[in-house]
Amino acid sequence: MLLVVFATMAMMVASIAMSALDRVASYANHLDEERSRQTLVGAIQTFEHQLGATLIDYTAWDDAATNAYVNKDMAWMISNFGDMTFDSDLFDVAIVLDAEGRPMMAYSDGQPLDGAVKGYITPALMGLFDKVRSGQSGLMPQTLGFIRTQKGIGSAGVALIRPKSGEIGQPPENYVYLAFIRHLSSSTVERLSEAYVLPGLALVPPSTNATSVAISSPTGEAIASLAWTPRAPGDQGREQVEPLIKAALVIVAIYALLLIVIGNSEMRRVRADEANAVKLAQTDRLSGLLNRAGLNQLLEDEVRRGRDAREDVVLLYLDLDGFKEVNDAYGHATGDRLIRAVAAGLSVLVGENAGLARIGGDEFGIVLTGKDVQERAFVLADAIIAFFDEPVLLGERTVVVGCSIGICVSEGGQVEGGELTRRADMAMYSSKDGGRGRWTIYDPRMDEERESRNHMEVDLRQAIGLGEIDVVYQPVVDAKTFTLVSVEALARWNRKGHGPVSPDVFIPIAESSGLIDQLGLCVLSQALRQLSHWPELKLSVNVSPGQFRDPGFVDHVAATFDEARIAPGRIVLEMTETYFIQSPERARIAMERLRGLGLRIALDDFGAGFSSVGYLRQFGFDRMKIDRSLVQSLDRGHRSVEMLQATVALARSLGIPVTAEGVETEQQAVILRIAGCDQLQGYLFGRPQSPEEIDALMLRPMELRAKAAELAFAASRDGGLQS
């Protein structure tokens, strides 16, 4: 491109310079031509005037007048006029005419003309003669003019022979005239050429050529031209200067070309540097894949291309399941190795013709384009999920992670990159919510769900502010006696205009929106107030990991206790393992401070998640609650029973008492009691209920005891199970 611009410019400069040179040259030529013309015109006039001067010398002459009129001496005239035509520079033809115009004597080049005189006494010469004879020639009885004779073109002049005084003393019919002709012979022309520096001067037929001057007869008719060879000094000058200018142009061109070549290579280097910098800015250092910025750029490009080619673009949004646990359990170095291993695995699965990026943390993005892209995306998603079924080997260590995938299609490139990412991300969350290890295609309803979740958040905030969160209490009984020993406080929200909302729905919303701090304290203070009515009961309150993150959490709890005047020893805070996994150090510190207040801490929902007995040991929980799912699996048979027995035994060996949750059947109750659980909780003994219902339950303790007796009987009947 630059080269084309340069070439055009160079050509323009060269043509301007050359045309300037042309102009100077042609101007110089023109000037010289003009000068030559003026010189030649002058030369012709001079040539004629010379003849005129000669003619005066010969005719206004007393001797000539005497010999013409008095002596009538022909011999005198021959020797003074005729003979003078021989080898003369002044005239080469001399003719003496009488008053009638008849030749009395005619000589040319020193020889008498005799019969040939007709070739000289032409009508043009006679015209000059008539002019003199009739007195039309003015003051002087003499006329001049160019004529054509048989010898060629010449200047002719006719004059009356007279004494110096002008007094002829004869009548006009005796008058004698003298005619001279001076021919423009080739030697004469050559001499003119030399004298006036007009090279190549030659007599030519009449011409209008710029380098010629016309010679006209007295009647104005062009009878010949004198032409010269133009010297063209401009052309000569140009011939001298042109090579120099050309050389200068070539030097300038070479210099400019060098500049361009150097500039170009410099520009290429800068561009390469820039491209490298962009590439670096778009590369993830850990995995070597594209990073988020790189993915955004790729999506932008592909979507634009897709729109032009009416092709679909698909984004797969991946998030690893359980990565955080691996990172927390084995450290960041292992986490990094896992990311690299996953990146390598995905690169192989994805292949060459798709874009792969690490969006951040444990999230990856894959961009697919081309034919049958949707089908290919589904096949790839299946393959990725199957890939994660296998444990990943990291040196000595084997870790198990899964993958949740969200898929979104930009049909014909109609969905922009940013929106495509948002949708695929949402679909990925839907995979997570749906139980992880799966792929989900984006559905516009997901936006509606997100919307309704947002509305719910607004309503929840308001409900907490207005004290509309209720607390219900679920009985916890002693496993041996079935006497009511404790209650678990559970939050309830009757959403205005919608009805009751499950805690499994609104607790996660409270957690993600930061409302959980307020909500947790609200439940705690209500429950503590209620507990003052039940002096013989203990109380469990659930605490979310989110609450732990609030630095003022422990102080808030302490303040609530002071206010309620309840002995902290009666309270158990239930926590799930999540926070202990995420931030073990902070969890330990918070736990110690809570313990310092006199509270006890239970590990809730044991067996529902990553659950390791290691946590029990590491953090020294005061109680463990076996999750409902584990209890309900007892119905499925032997192995579950054994597993549960082993778990409870392990906890007891650490001195940690165990509560079983979600006990619904008598059979479950029997097994759990035998396994070693000291407390039971579940619909069998009572659903979460209002304080009034708990009051009523306390008034009829016999009901629970009867159930215990019945159970004891059933147990002994079924095979002598010991309590």
Residues with a known catalytic role: 661
Binding site partner of 682, from ligand C2E, Mg ion, none, Cβ cut-off 5-8 A by kind: ligand C2E
Amino acid at 487: V
Q: Which of 604, 644, 658, 688 binds Mg ion (CB under 5 A)?
A: 604
CB-side neighbour CA atoms (13 Å) of 326:
23
Nearer residue to Mg ion within complex by CB, 425 or 604: 604
Q: Footprint of Mg ion on residues 556-585 (CB under 5 A)?
A: 574
Residue 704: closest CA among 480, 387, 422: 480
Least separation in angstroms between residue 608's CB and Mg ion is 8
Residues 6+ away with beta carbon under 8 Å from 160: 59, 132, 133, 141, 142, 168, 175, 176, 177
Unique residue bearing structure tokens 């205005």:
496
Maximal CA-CA distance, the chain: 200
Amino acid at 527: A
Q: Footprint of Mg ion on residues 657-696 (CB under 5 A)?
A: 661
Nearer residue to Mg ion within complex by CB, 311 or 604: 604
Residue 487: closest CA among 518, 528, 445, 456: 528
Amino acid at 224: A
Binding site partner of 314, from ligand C2E, Mg ion, none, Cβ cut-off 5-8 A by kind: none
Nearer residue to Mg ion within complex by CB, 343 or 571: 571
Angstrom distance (rounded) from CA 183 to CA 181 = 6
Binding site partner of 92, from Mg ion, ligand C2E, none, Cβ cut-off 5-8 A by kind: none
Least separation in angstroms between residue 536's CB and ligand C2E is 22
Binding site partner of 543, from ligand C2E, Mg ion, none, Cβ cut-off 5-8 A by kind: ligand C2E
Least separation in angstroms between residue 381's CB and ligand C2E is 32
Joined together, the tokens standing for residue 2 give: 């630059």
Nearer residue to ligand C2E within complex by CB, 213 or 644: 644
Helix-, strand-, coil-residue percentages of the chain, each rounded to 5: 55, 20, 25
Nearer residue to ligand C2E within complex by CB, 365 or 520: 520
What angle is formed at CA 154 by the lines to CA 149 and CA 159, rounded to 5 degrees? Answer: 95
CB-side neighbour CA atoms (13 Å) of 603:
29
Least separation in angstroms between residue 429's CB and Mg ion is 24
Does residue number 542 form part of the binding site for Mg ion (CB under 5 A)?
A: yes
Unique residue bearing structure tokens 């005799």:
114
Binding site partner of 431, from ligand C2E, Mg ion, none, Cβ cut-off 5-8 A by kind: none
User: How many angstroms separate the Cα of 624 from the Cα of each of 188, 585, 629, 657, 666?
Assistant: 143, 20, 15, 6, 21
Angstrom distance (rounded) from CA 84 to CA 64 = 14
Residue 154: closest CA among 182, 188, 180: 182
Nearer residue to Mg ion within complex by CB, 459 or 604: 604
Binding site partner of 688, from ligand C2E, Mg ion, none, Cβ cut-off 5-8 A by kind: ligand C2E
Over its C-alpha atoms, the chain yields an Rg (Å, rounded) of 65
Are 493 and 500 in contact, with CB atoms under 8 Å apart?
yes
Cβ-based neighbour number of residue 639 at 10 Å: 9
Binding site partner of 421, from ligand C2E, Mg ion, none, Cβ cut-off 5-8 A by kind: none
Q: Which of 176, 570, 605, 708 binds Mg ion (CB under 5 A)?
A: 605
Are 207 and 225 in contact, with CB atoms under 8 Å apart?
yes
Nearer residue to Mg ion within complex by CB, 424 or 602: 602
Binding site partner of 315, from Mg ion, ligand C2E, none, Cβ cut-off 5-8 A by kind: none
Nearer residue to Mg ion within complex by CB, 193 or 486: 486
Task: Provide DSSP, 267-319.
Answer: HHHHHHHHHHHHHHHTB-TTTSSB-HHHHHHHHHHHHHHHHHHT--EEEEEEE
Q: Footprint of Mg ion on residues 375-434 (CB under 5 A)?
A: none
Least separation in angstroms between residue 681's CB and Mg ion is 8
Least separation in angstroms between residue 528's CB and ligand C2E is 13
Least separation in angstroms between residue 686's CB and Mg ion is 15
User: How many angstroms separate the Cα of 46 from the Cα of each of 155, 441, 494, 597, 715?
Assistant: 11, 112, 134, 141, 162
**For binding to ligand C2E (CB under 6 A), which residues are involved?**
474, 490-491, 502-504, 507, 520, 523, 542-544, 574, 604-605, 628, 661-664, 681-683, 688
Least separation in angstroms between residue 601's CB and ligand C2E is 14
Angstrom distance (rounded) from CA 2 to CA 132 = 82
User: How many angstroms separate the Cα of 554 from the Cα of each of 373, 407, 626?
Assistant: 54, 42, 26
Contact window for Mg ion (CB under 5 A) among 113-121, 243-251, 534-542, 630-638? 534-542
Residue 156: closest CA among 99, 92, 205: 92
Least separation in angstroms between residue 713's CB and ligand C2E is 22
Binding site partner of 430, from Mg ion, ligand C2E, none, Cβ cut-off 5-8 A by kind: none
Nearer residue to ligand C2E within complex by CB, 308 or 710: 710
Are 517 and 550 in contact, with CB atoms under 8 Å apart?
yes
Binding site partner of 369, from Mg ion, ligand C2E, none, Cβ cut-off 5-8 A by kind: none
Nearer residue to ligand C2E within complex by CB, 243 or 500: 500
**Number of residues lying near Mg ion (CB under 5 A):** 5
Measured in degrees and rounded to the nearest 5, phi and psi for residue 504 equal -60, -20
Least separation in angstroms between residue 626's CB and Mg ion is 9
User: How many angstroms separate the Cα of 594 from the Cα of each of 166, 472, 490?
Assistant: 160, 24, 20
Binding site partner of 311, from ligand C2E, Mg ion, none, Cβ cut-off 5-8 A by kind: none
Residues facing residue 313 across a β-bridge:
369, 410
Least separation in angstroms between residue 541's CB and ligand C2E is 7
- Interface residue list for Mg ion (CB under 5 A): 542, 574, 604-605, 661
